[in-house]
Amino acid sequence: MKNMKKILSLMLALVMMLALASCGSAGSGAASGSATGSGSAAEDASDLAYVKDKGTLIVGITDFKPMDYKNDAGEWVGFDADMATAFAKSLGVDVQFIEIDWDNKIMELNAKSIDCVWNGMTLTDEVKKSMATSNPYCDNAQVVVVPADKADQYQDVDSLKDLSFAVESGSAGEAEAKNQNLTYTSVSTQSDAVMEVSSGASDACVIDLLMAGAIIGEGTSYPKLTHTVKLNSEQYGAAFRTDSDLAEVLNKFLADSYKDGSMQKIAETYGVQESLIAQ
Amino acid sequence: MFLTVTLSLLQGLATTVKLFALTLLFSLPLGLIISFGSMSRFKILRYPVKTLVWVVRGSPLMIQLLIMYYGPGLLFGWELLPRFTAALVAFVINYSCYFSEIYRGGIEAIPKGQYEAGQVLGMTKSQIFCKVVLLQVVKRIVPPMSNEIITLVKDTSLARIIAVYELIWNGQTFIKSAGIIWPLFYTTVFYLVFNGALTLLFGYIEKRLDFFKC
């Protein structure tokens, strides 16, 4: 009886400690958002050394044809994936691809669960501010997706004013919709935006040209959708933790592989050679 | 295509079931311990435990998952837990707190007279709890427990926020890679079958515990 009480109180003490610990981290999590930024900045001076020491470059990606996708053997391939593999090789480290929730990319980088995001990312001001970005390497555009049978009515920007749009929250498409004063709803992914149009919840959506090429039209779930107006043109880049020295290293690698033609070769494999930007 | 999707979803289901089973395994006993804490006579124990239950039940599980995985790295620059482990710890803490309240309800529903009767018969407190109270508690809490456990099956899908590749994640993948949407909705079939089996199991357990009335 007495023993049982002792054991019980010991266990309870343990639970309490857990409780205090979790309260502590939850509380300071809210308070020290800014402190985190400065803390990681100090460490990032040696990001290249950190990755070399670890022996692996962990690349955060999503499934995004033709930049990063799985081939039939289950390996990650694509223009970005192949370039990342070559980059890791030039550093003398292994490459590892991890599919992440794209909304959490900055947290993933700062928590060091990944070292780099390389996934057809549009270089916006926000992106450049929150991460260390490389030079742009590929052109892209934001396009309007509408049902194919209505496509002929919506061939210029003026015709879009009365439509309701769906856009990915925080995406370049959303920025463009805001720019053009379009009426829009933000959803969590570009594919959700396409689903909105397909189900009739929205009249149209704004997504990446390269993505539109891959997920709408014949052979997909959206054979009746097509893309019309190009709203803007934009550029893709890769990114690292804030102030990371790896961005400069990557820029040099991009320049070298453009000069020796290996970048063009990879681009041709995936049909993006016309969008390539000279380094 | 149907076969490819089914195989991929089964892979996701394996992660879902693993997360579900391990969460139950750890949170069922931990919940009982927490319920003792929240019923303790000692304020120094009772108040912190009640605060913990309030914080964990009162904040979104999604945020708890994010804190559990990214927190150590963002705040202190520590090594991160593996994704699955972080999800498991978050789920165990969250469900222990919910379970503890169900246990508390069950234990406090036992009439005081039974404790007094036990004392008159010369039983010790732990004897009374283990031999008289516990089985009645188990019987009473089966319906609310089954409710919570069925919710847990579906809550596991929240783990996708820290990139644990469970059922919904694998279903969504096909939208991004191939532009097909039916796999996402097809995942529902897996949840329905899983929960159907659990419902039958709980029905059976309730029947087996029907041999006494209380």
Report CA-CA distances (Å) from A13 to A114, B3, B41, B158, B206.
Answer: 36, 51, 14, 30, 34
Mutate to test the interface with B, among A6, A11, A22 (most CBs of B within 10 A): A22
Q: What is the pLDDT of residues B143-202, one digit of tens each?
A: 999 999 999 999 999 999 999 999 999 998 888 777 788 999 999 999 999 999 999 999
User: Any chain A CB within 8 A of the CB of B212?
Assistant: no
The phi and psi torsions of A168 (rounded to 5 degrees) equal -75, 130
CA B61/CA B94 separation, integer angstroms: 7
CA A236/CA A254 separation, integer angstroms: 13
Interface confidence (ipTM) of the complex = 0.74
Inspect the interface and report whether the beta carbons of A8 and B36 lie closer than 8 Å. Answer: yes
pLDDT of residue A210: 82
At residue B213, does pLDDT exceed 90?
Answer: no
CA A191/CA B177 separation, integer angstroms: 10
Using the CB atoms, write b or e for A127-165: b if 16+ within 10 Å: beebbbbbbbbbbbbbbbbbbbeebeebeeeeebeebeb
Q: In order of start, what are the domains of chain A with their CATH numbers? A: 39-139+236-275 (3.40.190.10), 140-234 (3.40.190.10)
Inspect the interface and report whether the beta carbons of A101 and B163 lie closer than 8 Å. Answer: yes
Mean pLDDT of chain A: 85
Mutate to test the interface with A, among B75, B79, B131 (most CBs of A within 10 A): B75
pLDDT of residue A248: 95
Mutate to test the interface with B, among A221, A224, A225, A226 (most CBs of B within 10 A): A221
To which H or E segment does residue B18 belong? helix B2-38
With a CB cutoff of 8 Å and minimum separation 6, the contacts of A249 are A48, A91
Q: Min CA distance, A257 vs chain B (Å)?
A: 28
Q: What part of B 77-136 touches A (C-beta under 8 Å)?
A: 77, 80, 83, 93, 124-126
pTM of the full structure: 0.77
Report CA-CA distances (Å) from B152 to B18, B45, B90, B158.
Answer: 12, 28, 12, 10
Q: What is the pLDDT of residues A174-217, one digit of tens each?
A: 989 999 999 999 988 888 899 889 888 899 999 988 888 878 88
Q: Min CA distance, A127 vs chain B (Å)?
A: 19
At residue A15, does pLDDT exceed 70?
Answer: no
Inspect the interface and report whether the beta carbons of B75 and A36 lie closer than 8 Å. Answer: yes
At residue A21, does pLDDT exceed 60?
Answer: no
CA A109/CA A131 separation, integer angstroms: 9
Lowest-confidence region among A39-53, A61-75, A78-92, B128-142: A39-53
What's the whole-number mean pLDDT along residues A224-249?
Answer: 93
Q: Min CA distance, A26 vs chain B (Å)?
A: 7
Interface A–B counts its CB contacts (< 8 A) at 122
Instruction: Characterize the bridge pairing of strands A56-61 and A69-70.
Output: unpaired
User: Any chain A CB within 8 A of the CB of B72?
Assistant: yes
Select the residue of A16, A216, A220 nearest B48 (Cβ to Cβ).
A16
Of chain B, the end-to-end C-alpha distance in Å amounts to 54
Select the residue of A98, A101, A214 nearest B160 (Cβ to Cβ).
A101
Nearest CA in chain B to A62: B176
Using the CB atoms, write b or e for B66-88: b if 16+ within 10 Å: bbbbbbbbbbeeeebbebbebbb
- Within 8 A of A98 by CB-CB distance, chain B residues are 163
Q: What is the pLDDT of residues A135-177, one digit of tens each?
A: 999 999 999 999 999 999 999 989 999 999 999 988 889 989 9
CA atoms within 13 A on the CB side of B115: 10
Inspect the interface and report whether the beta carbons of A104 and B162 lie closer than 8 Å. Answer: yes
- Within 8 A of B34 by CB-CB distance, chain A residues are 15
At residue A37, does pLDDT exceed 60?
Answer: no
Inspect the interface and report whether the beta carbons of A16 and B45 lie closer than 8 Å. Answer: yes
Inspect the interface and report whether the beta carbons of A40 and B160 lie closer than 8 Å. Answer: no
User: Any chain A CB within 8 A of the CB of B37?
Assistant: yes
Q: Return the CATH number of B2-211, one of 3.40.50.800, 1.10.3720.10, 1.20.200.10, 3.40.50.300.
A: 1.10.3720.10
The phi and psi torsions of B208 (rounded to 5 degrees) equal -65, -30
pLDDT of residue A272: 85
Let me know: does A128 contact A192? Beta carbons within 8 Å: no
What pairs with residue A232 in β-bridges? A142
Q: Min CA distance, A260 vs chain B (Å)?
A: 31
At residue A39, does pLDDT exceed 60?
Answer: no
Q: What is the pLDDT of residues B66-109, one digit of tens each?
A: 999 999 988 888 889 999 999 999 999 999 999 999 999 999 99
Q: What is the pLDDT of residues A80-135, one digit of tens each?
A: 999 999 999 999 999 999 999 988 999 999 999 999 999 999 998 889 999 999 99
Q: Percentage of chain B with pLDDT > 90?
A: 81
User: Any chain A CB within 8 A of the CB of B1?
Assistant: no
What's the whole-number mean pLDDT along residues A45-67?
Answer: 91
pLDDT of residue A48: 94
Instruction: Characterize the bridge pairing of strands A69-70 and A225-240.
Output: unpaired
Q: What is the pLDDT of residues B34-69, one digit of tens each?
A: 999 999 999 999 999 999 999 999 999 999 999 999
Select the residue of B30, B70, B178 nearest A111 (Cβ to Cβ).
B70
Q: What pLDDT band is residue A29 in, cutting at 50, 70 and 90?
A: very low
Radius of gyration of chain B (CA): 21
Select the residue of B74, B172, B182 nearest A111 (Cβ to Cβ).
B74
Let me know: does A141 contact A133? Beta carbons within 8 Å: no
Mean pLDDT of chain B: 93
At residue A14, does pLDDT exceed 50?
Answer: yes
**Residue A2: CB atoms within 10 Å:** 6
Let me know: does A112 contact B69? Beta carbons within 8 Å: no
